[in-house]
Amino acid sequence: MLDTHARGYVTPLIRFFAKGLLDLGFIPLHVTFFAGAMGVMGALLFVFQWPYFAVGLLWLSGTLDALDGEMARISKAQSDRGAMADIFLDRVV
């Protein structure tokens, strides 16, 4: 429910950064894998008792996860492979 109310404020910001990443030459799949790597590294930092850094990486992972989908929609680069990678890495993280 909170997501529904906040979406109107957050979507323009996500779209802005998604366009910026596309302009830099990134593709959505790059961002998907980077988000997954940040999430796994965040989990490892929790294990090694670095909770503040872990939370930061998990926050970055979640932000990048939102960006990759927006990038795919903007660039019309949606694919089954990308969707499966996104879902799989979401579950891993």
Rounded alpha-carbon distances, angstroms, from residue 45 to 37, 42, 53, 71: 12, 5, 7, 28
d(CA 40, CA 64): 13
Q: pTM, whole model, 2 decimals?
A: 0.82
User: Cα(first)–Cα(last) distance of the chain, in Å?
Assistant: 23
pLDDT in tens, 27-76: 999 999 999 999 999 999 999 999 999 999 999 998 998 899 899 999 98
d(CA 69, CA 27): 10
Residue 1 has pLDDT above 60, yes or no: no
